[in-house]
Structure 1
Amino acid sequence: MQGTQLLKRAVQCSPQRVATISGERRRSWAEVGTRVPRMAAALRSLGVEDGAFVAILAMNSDRYLELFFAVPWAGGALAPLNVRWSVAENIYALTDSKAAVLFIDDAFLEQAREIRPQMPGIATFVYMGDGPTPEGMLSYEALVEAHAPMADANRRDDDLYIIFYTGGTTAHPKGVAMSHKGVYLATCCYLALLPSVEDLTFLYVAGYFHFAGASALWYITLAGGTHAILPKFEALPVMKAIGEYKVTNAVLVPTMVNMLLSHPDFPQYDLTSLKTCIYGGSPMPEGLMLRAMEMVPTWGFYQIYGMTETGGFATMLRWRDHIVSGEKSSRLRSAGQAGFGNEIRIVLPDGSDAELGQIGEIIIRSDFLMIGYLNNPEASAASLRDGWMYTGDAGYMDEDGFLYVADRVKDMIVSGGENVYSIEPERALFLHPKVREAAVIGIPSEQWGEAVHAVVVLKDGASATVEELIAHCRTLIGGYKCPRSIEFRAEPLPVTPVGKVRKNVLRDPYWVGHARKI
């Protein structure tokens, strides 16, 4: 099984269909099918050998999409970098992956200038923007133009395809490694869950460095559909694009849905072409779901639950199960049933299976789980046990196989669809010279689902402001990971007998009256 087979089918079966819409550019599948082997040949000429990593730090674009196929076509593996990370965080990922080629667009030229002297191992910087090529970089389009197409390097099955970096629960982010077989099978199983595979046009608003943002690159390609690409989410461009491009499918986290429905210009746009709206990252509040059903009645909503390590999904709550009244209305609070190819269990601390309705840890098995964490066998062994992925999430199953996610075993915060591991802002706070203790929790937010909140104890005699500590965090970690609010306490934080901060004591008062804590 090859990830590149997805592209080959689209080129063969839908050659004249519009493949990509990016700004003013439109390209057919026939054109993409010519450009990808040319860029692959260019990468090979730059020294990209089988299994070597090629890194990308850029906003979404048609060229970025091409690299998802050109890099494996050349025999390499992709390492998309998080556009919201600091220079230090991206340098860690580049060092970990040992990438020798880095693709950059206009939004990250300044970061590239900071990275270059600190990463002498990166031999080549390739500019993939639309302006003049900066000094010391190669031009994406010139490389395509200068090279004849090469044959597919024929990477397949257990060969490494891509690595997605996730926020780390330990000292550093972890690189989730996916094989060609994993990507291919996850794509087929996911596509089979959708209500239609004909004449699809997908609108991209989430970054390709997320599995959730990238997965449609594969399944829409397999379906021979059209990729309508926006560099990021903004309400007006999204509404305009849905109407102009007749978008049929999109992935929108609940925060985005709320921003669209609340925009004053919402009534001016025809959004009826959109039939399938996938949401995930955080639950859809019931009030927002009811409002969406009323304001966009043509949209069918589908919730997914999963993680990068499970190939992006594990369960799906289909539109038919978004029941708002009656005996089965509780399903609206669930994460749905196991997706095709996935097996779900709820296990107790002793490893035995929980009873129906009993909370335990959610574990997942499929043929498209990650290979493991790059260069981190200890973390791989802790998460992958006997073929099962231990998610660190707590939940329960009902008699119809619907999964309910009750809380998190791991202290992860889901804010606006972004995963924030509390240890990262905590580590940043602890590096401030005035901070003695710090604990970070997720608290309810109407806008973000959860907001990052810090509880801080300062050193004796020290004083600091909220603004000072947040500014300090921003120098060390991405802005979305930084606390949005901070409370100062004079007394020590509550701890367990073994000295671990009792975060439930800090968190629970904020969640009184809220049905779901995730």
Structure 2
Amino acid sequence: MTNGSSFTLANMLEANARNYADHPAWVFQGNTLTHGQYLDRGRRLASAWTKLGLIRQERVAVMSRNCLEICEVYAASEVGGFVTATVSFRFAPPEVVYVVNDSMPKIFVFEEEFADLIDGIRDSLETVEHFVCIGKAPAWATSYGDVIATGDADFWAQVANDDLCSLIYTSGTTGRPKGVMLTHGGKAACAESISALMMAGPADRILLMMPMFHVGAKDMSLGQSWRAGTVYLHRDFDPELILQTIQDEKITITHMAPTMVQMVLDHPRIDEFDLSSLRMIVYSAAAMPTALLRRGLDKLGNVFLQMYGQTEGSGIILPIEDHQPDAEERYRRRLQSIGIPFPGVQVRLVNDDGQDCAIDEPGEILLRGPIMMKGYWNKSDATLETLRDGWLHTGDMGKFDDDGYIYLVDRKKDMIVSGGENIYSREVEEAIYQHDAVANAAVIGVPDEKWGEAVRAVVQLRVGASVGEAELIAHCRTLIAGYKCPKSIVFADDLPKLASGKINKLAIRKEHGRP
């Protein structure tokens, strides 16, 4: 592993361009960038940034849907020693102002479709000196194409292992987004680990459609690039286009959130496509409901590999060989787990007193290893709290089984305390998902005069399916203790989701968290 070495992402791009210059690195909407071209354009853009006054470790903010240009912005920082600060294109104007001002970039790259939004907040962006537009630029911005044309392909910069390469903002599930400082050494170690776990090589073709401003898609692309493979990039999530691309381009690996896997499996034409080239679906962002995972195994075979982590750091995986629904009970139970630690990553589960938990005792998941964040940008108190004692405190609750497998039970802040009993929303959601009518579910606590908190489920039904509140609660009583079952159920047409594909419980609490 690269841990402790001086290997950087710049070294990775240089090696790919040297050894696989004509091999495709990126394919997007019929346009291809070879590994040689990708390094060339990354260097030209880094050179152009220096001509605009950017110096080592200063930030470039980028707000864009998936396209080749956002990948080039990343590459320019990686070879130039700059820092890419990502801005969600789903943000409202006040959220964009907050993230841009927090990351303090000199340059703000954005897509043409967001020009009106940015024009309305330009005067509030305190540090931005240059606005660069992908597409047709407004009068107050410079065209991305014109900027990169000013750069020199022979640009070179000294990049260190401990340098920041990106500043990626958290989903904001527990409050305002925090900028996660990610280093070259950490991301190189991450790329190496993911590449090994995917068993990726130059012949592999990975399909990505989750947003590149998020750590999930970015890390998957790094894992593929580690061995000079090819990334096929989609602009948005489109289930039919995914199926068509897997068939036509002989995709071998893809990466989706469980909600996306469900929509692909539910597509009415799925059986019309040849998906035989697909050997692996990496799923992350949230643990997959067991009922959905079994559907996927029945339809696609043993192709699923789960990775668990956060923007702050990854570290747990359920190996593909553990997805054995017909094996003995101890192995079938593993379908509900998030797996075992990555090579080189240590995991602890601790109680509120900081003591290690016994088998089957829920505790907070702590991670330590080379692929963790350096800290939170401009938030020393939050950094000290999250990285205390040398461990990344994830805020997720899990438990070990006798074999050392870890089971995710809840977010620490999502645990419901009702009548003195701890109720983990994940366990309740698993029960709800086992009803055939349920497409998506989120369990939250709501104030209750008698019990302190009561369990409420917010449920989205599958198209054409129906089930009533009483029937669904009765279903849950056959699977979990009565005190854990929902006391009320709200049916919704859709559940709000974060960019990562996770169900947005913060939004659900705001809408449905009243008694």
Is TM more than 0.5 here? Answer: yes
* 1:29 matches 2:35: yes
Partner residue in 2 for 1:181: 185
Among 377, 382, 405, the residue aligned to 1:379: 382
Q: Secondary structure of the residue that 1:55 maps to in structure 2?
A: strand
CA offsets 1:330-363 (integer angstroms, 9 cap, x no match) = 1111001101121011112222211222221111
- Pairwise CA distance, 1:145: 2.2
TM normalised by structure 1 equals 0.79
Partner residue in 2 for 1:308: 311
**Contact kept in structure 1, 2:174 and 2:506, CA below 8 Å:** no
CA distance 1:200–1:442, change in 2 (3 Å): farther
Residue 400 of structure 1 aligns with an amino acid whose one-letter code is D
What pairs with 1:227-306 in structure 2 (closer than 5 Å)?
Answer: 227-297=231-301, 300-306=303-309
Partner residue in 1 for 2:475: none
Distance 1:86 1:371 in 2: 28
Partner residue in 2 for 1:7: 13
Partner residue in 2 for 1:360: 363
- Pairwise CA distance, 1:318: 1.3
- Pairwise CA distance, 1:88: 0.8
Distance 2:411 2:175 in 1: 20
Bigger drift between 209-218 and 330-339 goes to 209-218
Distance 2:174 2:293 in 1: 35
Residue 403 of structure 2 aligns with an amino acid whose one-letter code is D
**Contact kept in structure 1, 2:221 and 2:231, CA below 8 Å:** yes
Partner residue in 1 for 2:434: none
Q: Secondary structure of the residue that 1:386 maps to in structure 2?
A: helix
Q: Secondary structure of the residue that 1:410 maps to in structure 2?
A: helix
Distance 2:443 2:376 in 1: 17
* 1:206 matches 2:210: yes
CA offsets 1:41-60 (integer angstroms, 9 cap, x no match) = 00111111111110000001
Distance 2:197 2:122 in 1: 44
Distance 1:160 1:100 in 2: 16
Partner residue in 2 for 1:60: 66
Partner residue in 1 for 2:499: none
CA offsets 1:180-238 (integer angstroms, 9 cap, x no match) = 11111111122121234341111111111211121122121111111111111011221
**Contact kept in structure 2, 1:168 and 1:421, CA below 8 Å:** no
What pairs with 1:71-150 in structure 2 (closer than 5 Å)?
Answer: 71-129=77-135, 132-150=136-154
**Contact kept in structure 2, 1:345 and 1:364, CA below 8 Å:** yes
- Pairwise CA distance, 1:87: 1.2
Residue 37 of structure 1 aligns with an amino acid whose one-letter code is R
- Pairwise CA distance, 1:410: 2.1
**Contact kept in structure 2, 1:48 and 1:74, CA below 8 Å:** no
- Pairwise CA distance, 1:447: 6.7
Distance 1:151 1:257 in 2: 42
Distance 1:281 1:446 in 2: 21
Distance 2:457 2:177 in 1: 20
Q: Secondary structure of the residue that 2:85 maps to in structure 1?
A: strand
Distance 2:365 2:509 in 1: 30
CA offsets 1:418-477 (integer angstroms, 9 cap, x no match) = 9x9999xx9xxxxxxxxxxx99977455679xxxxxxxxxxxxxxxxx99xx99xxxxxx
CA distance 1:90–1:440, change in 2 (3 Å): farther
What pairs with 1:363-442 in structure 2 (closer than 5 Å)?
Answer: 363-411=366-414
Bigger drift between 103-112 and 36-45 goes to 103-112
Partner residue in 2 for 1:190: 194
Q: Secondary structure of the residue that 2:508 maps to in structure 1?
A: coil
Bigger drift between 182-191 and 106-115 goes to 106-115
- Pairwise CA distance, 1:151: 3.2
Partner residue in 2 for 1:483: 508
CA distance 1:182–1:440, change in 2 (3 Å): farther
**Contact kept in structure 1, 2:81 and 2:163, CA below 8 Å:** no
- Pairwise CA distance, 1:168: 3.7
Residue 168 of structure 2 aligns with an amino acid whose one-letter code is F
Q: Secondary structure of the residue that 1:306 maps to in structure 2?
A: strand
Residue 34 of structure 2 aligns with an amino acid whose one-letter code is S
Distance 1:95 1:86 in 2: 14
Q: Percent identity?
A: 28
Among 155, 160, 177, the residue aligned to 1:156: 160
State the number of aligned residues: 444
CA distance 1:444–1:353, change in 2 (3 Å): farther
CA offsets 1:14-51 (integer angstroms, 9 cap, x no match) = 11111111113112112112111111100111111111
Distance 1:253 1:350 in 2: 33
**Contact kept in structure 1, 2:39 and 2:75, CA below 8 Å:** no
CA distance 1:26–1:480, change in 2 (3 Å): farther
Partner residue in 1 for 2:350: 347
Distance 1:58 1:228 in 2: 17
CA distance 1:441–1:192, change in 2 (3 Å): farther
Distance 2:128 2:278 in 1: 42
**Contact kept in structure 2, 1:395 and 1:407, CA below 8 Å:** yes
Q: Secondary structure of the residue that 2:247 maps to in structure 1?
A: helix
Q: Secondary structure of the residue that 1:239 maps to in structure 2?
A: helix
CA distance 1:180–1:442, change in 2 (3 Å): farther
Partner residue in 2 for 1:69: 75
Runs of 5+ unmatched residues, structure 2: 1-6, 416-424, 430-439, 447-452, 464-490, 497-502
Distance 1:488 1:353 in 2: 33
Distance 2:265 2:374 in 1: 40
Distance 1:208 1:255 in 2: 18
CA offsets 1:102-122 (integer angstroms, 9 cap, x no match) = 111133222221231221531
Distance 1:243 1:109 in 2: 36
TM normalised by structure 2 equals 0.80
**Contact kept in structure 2, 1:338 and 1:401, CA below 8 Å:** no
CA offsets 1:40-81 (integer angstroms, 9 cap, x no match) = 100111111111110000001111111111123222101011
Residue 273 of structure 2 aligns with an amino acid whose one-letter code is Y
CA distance 1:488–1:320, change in 2 (3 Å): closer
Partner residue in 1 for 2:335: 332
Bigger drift between 318-327 and 189-198 goes to 189-198
